């Protein structure tokens, strides 16, 4: 079966990336399921271990959101959903961001309370094969085991997120980075208790909570701005996406265009583009010329799912019209 986003068939490279992304997200869920159980069994009363356990629980949200969104966006547009179902990616992104923000806030309050209250978390011992073993060694051992795979997952997902223009996958890769940093912080916190630094555990928990909260803020901000139809950006929200410039450059080269400006709406994996054109000598081009131009623009990038050409007598200021040019000059 050919992978599809709405009406678009994915190019071969993106189809392979999608299949690999699905596999690695299932692998991530399997890894997290094992890690969650192991951490729960050894966390005792350590605040740092508790925070790490909760973060691993929250880490399930992005891969689950991605897998659900992939199934939903494959549906074709309908009269009720004429733009297709691509926005399900943005909705999943927002849900994951809100969950991270809420839990990060809770953990910061909980950890700060323990630190300010000078709570001394006890770490006892357990019997293993007749030998008494300090539980802290088991805690640090389990957390050390959870470091390598998140590093690998994060690197792979980052490349796949770029190939697919998938911000949920990018958020998941970012969270994998937070996962292994959390593991390191937990080891430091437990080791601190072992050498008599009672505050090390709460401090490590506070560090982990701040990391969770920051992930939540970043993801909420990115998801909300995308749902509000801000200017389309690259997969990592680092800069405006270059596709608008490429479309404008192509259209300006056509013999029947005078001025051109486009606005691009990020639908999730793909873009909806509206290109405004002032015809040369105010002469309306033929239907075949318009159709050829539209098809050529869509062929510039697989992410251009749909494109509308709008003939106008003056460009709107939002896409570089006279009012927009004056505003740009004032902002310089």
Q: 274-288, pLDDT tens digit by residue?
A: 999 999 998 999 999
Summarize pLDDT for 235-281 with one digit per residue, the tens. Answer: 888 889 999 999 999 999 999 999 999 999 888 888 989 999 999 99
**Contact (CB, 8 A) for 283 and 256:** yes
- Could you tell me the residue ranges of all domains in the chain? 4-227, 243-331
Record: fold of 243-331: GMP Synthetase; Chain A, domain 3 (3.30.300)
Strands 125-128 and 131-134: antiparallel
Mean pLDDT of the chain: 83
For residue 194, give Cα distances in angstroms to 13, 79, 201. 51, 64, 10
User: Residue 147, exposed/middle/buried by CB under 10 A (0-12, 13-18, 19+)?
Assistant: middle
> Identical fold at 4-227 and 243-331?
no
pTM: 0.80
Indicate the SS3 state at residue 2: coil
Q: How many CA atoms lie within 13 A of 70 on its CB side?
A: 24
Statement: 4-227 belongs to CATH 1.20.1510.10: yes
The answer to whether residues 297 and 250 touch, using CB atoms and an 8 Å cutoff, is: yes
Return the SS3 of 281.
Answer: helix
Token code pair at residue 16: 């392979």
């Amino acid at each position: 079966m050919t992978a599809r986003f709405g009406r678009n068939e994915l190019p071969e490279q993106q189809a392979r990336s999608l299949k690999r992304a699905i596999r690695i997200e299932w692998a991530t869920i399997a890894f997290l399921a094992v890690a969650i159980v192991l951490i729960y069994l050894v966390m005792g009363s350590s605040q740092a271990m508790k925070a790490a356990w909760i973060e691993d629980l929250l880490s399930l949200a992005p891969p689950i959101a991605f897998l659900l969104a992939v199934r939903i966006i494959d549906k074709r547009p309908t009269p009720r959903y004429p733009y297709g179902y691509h926005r399900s990616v943005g909705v999943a992104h927002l849900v994951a961001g809100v969950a991270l923000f809420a839990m990060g806030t809770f953990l910061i309050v909980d950890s700060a309370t323990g630190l300010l209250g000078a709570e001394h978390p006890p770490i006892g011992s357990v019997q293993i094969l007749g030998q008494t073993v300090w539980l802290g060694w088991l805690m640090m051992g389990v957390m050390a085991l959870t470091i390598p795979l998140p590093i690998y997952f994060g690197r792979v997902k980052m490349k796949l997120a770029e190939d697919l223009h998938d911000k949920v996958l990018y958020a998941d890769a970012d969270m994998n980075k937070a996962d292994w940093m959390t593991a390191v912080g937990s080891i430091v916190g437990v080791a601190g208790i072992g050498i008599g630094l009672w505050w090390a555990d709460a401090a490590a928990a506070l560090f982990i909570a701040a990391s969770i909260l920051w992930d939540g803020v970043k993801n909420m901000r990115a998801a909300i701005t995308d749902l509000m139809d801000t200017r389309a950006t690259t997969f990592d929200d680092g800069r405006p996406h270059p596709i608008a410039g490429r479309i404008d450059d192509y259209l300006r080269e056509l013999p029947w265009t005078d001025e051109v400006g486009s606005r691009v709406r990020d639908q999730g994996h793909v873009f909806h583009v509206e290109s405004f054109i002032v015809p040369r000598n105010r002469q309306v081009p033929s239907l075949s010329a318009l159709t050829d131009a539209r098809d050529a623009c869509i062929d510039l990038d697989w992410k251009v799912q749909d494109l509308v050409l709008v003939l106008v007598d003056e460009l709107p200021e939002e896409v570089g019209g006279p009012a927009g040019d004056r505003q740009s000059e004032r902002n310089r």
